[in-house]
Structures are given as C-alpha cells and as structure tokens.
Amino acid sequence: MGEVTPVRLRPMNLADVGPVMALETALFPEDAWSQYALLSELAEPGRHYVVAESDGEVVGYAGLRAAAPEGDVQTMAVDERLWGSGVGSALLTALLEEARRRGITRMFLDVRADNPRAQKLYTGFGFVRVGVRDGYYNGTDAITMLRVDEAGGSGHKEDR
Ligand SMILES: CC(C)(COP(=O)(O)OP(=O)(O)OC[C@H]1O[C@@H](n2cnc3c(N)ncnc32)[C@H](O)[C@@H]1OP(=O)(O)O)[C@@H](O)C(=O)NCCC(=O)NCCS
C-alpha cells in the first residue's frame, strides 16, 4: 500500500476558486455551477465553505447556507481519486459542526435521484428523505433530505 497523505480541512478562500471549479466541472458534468455562481455564494452572508487539502492540492469542498434554525448543504464534492477514503464524511462532519455552532437544528439538502453514493453518505449521517422535486436537475429528480439535530441549537452541547 502506498503512503496515505493526510487531508486537512480549512475555510475556502478566493485562491481556491480555480481548483474548486476544476473539480466542480469534472464531478458535476451535467449541472456544474458556473464560476459566477460559486463567487456569488462566497460573497453571501451566512455561508460557510470549506476545502479539503492534500499535499497542497484541493481535493474536495463543501458549502453550508445558514439561516438558523435551518440550514442547507449547498454543495459537496471530492476528487474521484480519493472516493471512499473518508474525505466526504470529513467535509460533511465539518459542515454539521459549524451548523450546530450557528444554532441550526434542521439541515436540508437536495441530491440527485440517480446518485446513490451521495444518498448513502447522507443517510449514514442521519438525513432522511422528505420529498422529491420532479425534474429539478435538468429533468432528473431531486430528493430532498432533512437531518434534525435534537441536541443542537444551544451551541454548548458536546459533539457526538
Ligand atoms: C458523494 C461524495 C462526496 C462522497 O465522497 P467520499 O469521499 O467518497 O465519501 P466517504 O469516503 O466519506 O464515504 C462516505 C460514504 O459514501 C459511501 N461510499 C463510499 N465509497 C463507496 C462505494 N465505492 N460505493 C458506494 N458507496 C460508497 C458509503 O456510504 C460511505 O460510507 P462508509 O464509509 O461508512 O461506508 C463523492 O462520491 C463525490 O464527490 N461524488 C460526486 C459529487 C457528488 O455527487 N456530490 C454530492 C452532491 S449532492
């Protein structure tokens, strides 16, 4: 087995937009955000975007929209070469921790109906399916998922 390079998470900044867009267009071939959309998100209040970095290279990213007591996972993606090695879980954990700090008790997300890998990840974190948006992604359905954090809201509870 090769050496495992540690992955660290940190807030996304403007210098990350290029590498993040490269991942975005590769990983969402049918419905990638434009660079303008990403920059607009970063400029919005109530957002928290993080990147995962390995050996100085951006290998994943995720974004939270916070409007306590509700929040949304806006996006999440990991370099395909690292799929299955826990980076997606680390990113989602970071968003959920930040959400709790911001008093969010109800986290929503939309995921493509034809994306079982991501759905499995979200289900593992306690998200449950609450609805379907017909044809939301260029004709493909979106499944809306919700995670209720019963213990959250105060920001003082210990992380699970
Ligand atoms: C979805 C995605 C972010 C997951 O990232 P990842 O780094 O592979 O995630 P992890 O390694 O933490 O794995 C998390 C879970 O994914 C699922 N998973 C991982 N590898 C898998 C595989 N080979 N087959 C099926 N499911 C798998 C498992 O449920 C896993 O949990 P487990 O390790 O407890 O079994 C990544 O596949 C990705 O970027 N996909 C393309 C973009 C995308 O779909 N983003 C989500 C949009 S809503």
Per-residue pLDDT in tens (0 to 9) along the chain, 160 residues: 456 679 999 999 999 999 999 999 999 999 999 999 999 999 999 999 999 999 999 999 999 999 999 999 999 999 999 999 999 999 999 999 999 999 999 999 999 999 999 999 999 999 999 999 999 998 999 999 999 998 764 444 444 4
CATH superfamily of 7-148: Gcn5-related N-acetyltransferase (GNAT) (3.40.630.30)
Q: Which pLDDT does position 3 carry in this prediction?
A: 61
Question: What residue type is assigned to position 47 of the chain?
Answer: R
- Nearest-CA residue for atom 13 of ligand 1: 84
Rounded CA gap, 97 and 31, in Å?
A: 28
Q: Which pLDDT does position 159 carry in this prediction?
A: 46
Q: Which pLDDT does position 152 carry in this prediction?
A: 60
pTM of the entire predicted model = 0.92
Token pair listed for 34: 């434009």
Q: Which residues contact 61 (CB under 8 A, 6 or more apart)?
A: 12, 16, 20, 23, 49, 50, 51, 52, 75, 76, 77, 91
Q: What is the DSSP letter of 115?
A: -
Tokens 């709790």 correspond to: 100
Q: Is the CB of 88 under 6 A from ligand 1?
A: yes
Distance 89 CA to ligand 1 centre (A): 8
* Residue spans per domain, the chain: 7-148
